[in-house]
């Protein structure tokens, strides 16, 4: 037993060493798996310790965010180009960005450069490229042929039928005017309903095609017939619609003349009616006569000038005076300007028609010269302007009567002095070609024409 005691002790020692070695190897393995490697910065003893953040290192290396079609983290301080998708990732708490998808593409691709900042301001080169691309996209395509348009767009009748099947009612101007005329002509319509219909109709007939449709629908003749009404308001509004339909519309002028409009309008102006009614009748008469020499010729034959002259005796008729003067001046200028033009269609035919009209000769025969002189002292400058224009063109036939009227001469010189003061005020304010300058020139023109 004594011999084995040292050996057993040795075995125990060997076993203990083996356990220690095995325990050490396992411990080393666990330690290696639990290590975290960190960068270290050596700090001088005389300075404070500074640990640079990873984002701050990246900012020095990269100033501009380079986007892709995948979401990327936008690091603090990076310049983000305009036109990107931006979001805040709620899981990480960081901002992310990516390029726009194709369906959101605006057609302008912006280059990211050092000059591009998060302010969204484009460089000059970027703007030039964007403008060039925009102009290229705006170039007109090949014009479609008539057949292509016919295939793409369906006739209005077919569209109306399809809308009708869908319980959708679509009305053209023609349909609306038809409904209005039927309401106006209905035997059960009250005066208020008729006046309301005329008010609506006047809105539509300013358009040339609508005015011609008015005749096709029989509405023009209805309105002309209503000029014989015993109801003043109906006469007034009917004349208003007729005048609007005739304005600068030769076809409708002819149709109205053939429908007896001229005679009916002269009757209104020659009989006892209110000034408001006569104003609308005079408006319709002016629309009928302008640029229509045959109607002007018939107007003179029917004594139209005498009818207009009698209106100057009208009590409170001042609103009519300027309208009459304006009409006469315009009719005279039509003839004078015709002889100065050489490129008018059918010039010879028109000159022959106007040669049958002796408007200024008829005015002198009927004593219009003193009537015009009495109007020159109207208080409003606009009215004076129109009278002075008519006096200027009538000096060829009324010169002797104008010169013999000493009152006219004194009035013209008073106008001259008055307008010279106004022109001086205009010039002081920097206005060289003002309204009063034109009036002063017109006064000088009349004075010069009346000189011996």
Which CATH architecture fits 169-357? Alpha Horseshoe (1.25)
Distance of alpha carbon 411 from alpha carbon 193, whole angstroms:
51
Cβ neighbours of residue 338 closer than 8 Å, sequence gap 6 or more = 344, 347, 350, 351, 354
Helices within 124-274 (DSSP H only) = 124-138, 146-152, 156-165, 173-185, 191-204, 208-216, 219-226, 232-246, 250-258, 261-270
Query: Is residue 67 helix, strand or coil?
Result: coil
Going by C-alpha positions, the residue among 234, 209, 233 that lies closest to residue 224 is 234
340 in Cβ contact with 334 (< 8 Å): no
Distance of alpha carbon 59 from alpha carbon 75, whole angstroms:
8
Distance of alpha carbon 3 from alpha carbon 15, whole angstroms:
20
65 in Cβ contact with 82 (< 8 Å): no
pTM for the model: 0.63
250 in Cβ contact with 209 (< 8 Å): no
Distance of alpha carbon 404 from alpha carbon 414, whole angstroms:
18
Q: How would you write the pLDDT of the chain (452 residues) with one tens digit per residue?
A: 444 444 444 444 444 444 444 444 444 444 333 333 333 333 344 444 334 444 444 444 445 778 888 888 888 777 777 777 788 777 787 888 888 765 444 443 444 444 444 445 556 666 567 666 655 555 554 555 656 656 666 676 776 666 666 666 678 899 999 999 999 999 999 999 999 999 999 999 999 999 999 999 999 999 999 999 999 999 999 999 999 999 989 999 999 999 999 999 999 999 999 999 999 999 999 999 999 999 999 999 999 999 999 999 888 888 899 999 999 999 999 988 887 765 666 678 888 888 889 999 999 999 999 999 999 988 899 999 999 999 999 999 999 999 999 899 999 999 999 999 999 998 888 888 889 999 999 999 999 999 98
Amino acid 101: pLDDT: 67
Going by C-alpha positions, the residue among 307, 308, 334 that lies closest to residue 321 is 308
Domain ranges of the chain: 169-357, 387-452
Amino acid 144: pLDDT: 53
Amino acid 165: pLDDT: 65
Distance of alpha carbon 402 from alpha carbon 90, whole angstroms:
96
């Amino acid at each position: 037993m004594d011999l084995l005691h040292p050996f057993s002790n040795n075995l125990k020692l060997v076993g203990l060493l083996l356990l220690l070695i095995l325990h050490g190897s396992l411990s080393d393995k666990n330690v290696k798996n639990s290590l975290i490697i960190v960068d270290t910065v050596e700090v001088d003893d005389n300075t404070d310790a500074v640990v640079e953040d990873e984002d701050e290192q990246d900012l020095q290396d990269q100033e501009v965010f380079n986007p892709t079609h995948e979401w990327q983290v936008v690091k603090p301080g990076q310049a983000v180009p305009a036109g990107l998708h931006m979001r805040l990732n709620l899981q990480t708490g960081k901002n992310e960005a990516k390029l726009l998808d194709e369906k959101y593409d605006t057609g302008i691709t912006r280059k990211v450069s050092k000059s591009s900042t998060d302010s969204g301001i484009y460089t000059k080169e970027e703007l030039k490229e964007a403008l060039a691309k925009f102009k290229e996209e705006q170039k007109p395509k090949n014009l479609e042929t008539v057949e292509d348009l016919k295939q793409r767009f369906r006739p209005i009748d077919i569209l109306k039928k399809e809308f009708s099947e869908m319980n959708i009612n679509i009305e053209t101007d023609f349909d609306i005017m038809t409904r209005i005329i039927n309401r106006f002509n209905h035997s059960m319509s009250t005066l208020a309903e008729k006046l309301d219909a005329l008010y609506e109709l006047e809105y539509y007939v300013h358009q040339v095609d609508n005015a011609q449709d008015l005749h096709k629908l029989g509405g023009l003749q209805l309105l002309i017939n209503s000029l014989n009404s015993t109801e003043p308001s109906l006469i007034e509004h009917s004349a208003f619609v007729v005048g609007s339909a005739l304005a600068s519309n030769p076809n409708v002028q002819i149709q109205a003349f053939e429908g007896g409009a001229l005679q009916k309008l002269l009757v209104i102006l020659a009989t006892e009616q209110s000034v408001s009614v006569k104003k609308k009748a005079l408006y319709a008469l002016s629309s009928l006569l302008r640029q229509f020499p045959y109607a002007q010729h018939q107007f003179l034959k029917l004594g139209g000038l005498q009818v207009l002259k009698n209106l100057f005796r009208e009590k409170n008729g001042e609103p009519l005076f300027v309208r009459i003067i304006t009409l006469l001046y315009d009719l005279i200028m039509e003839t004078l300007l015709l002889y100065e033009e050489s490129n008018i269609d059918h010039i010879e035919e028109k000159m022959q028609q106007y040669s049958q009209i002796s408007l200024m000769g008829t005015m002198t025969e009927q004593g219009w010269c003193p009537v015009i002189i009495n109007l020159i002292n109207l208080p409003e400058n606009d009215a004076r302007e129109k009278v002075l224009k008519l006096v200027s063109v009538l000096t060829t036939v009324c010169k002797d009567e104008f010169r013999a009227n000493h009152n006219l001469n004194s009035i013209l010189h008073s106008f001259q002095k008055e307008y010279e003061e106004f022109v001086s005020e205009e010039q002081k304010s920097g206005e060289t070609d003002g309204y009063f300058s034109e009036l002063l020139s017109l006064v000088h023109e009349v004075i010069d024409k009346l000189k011996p």
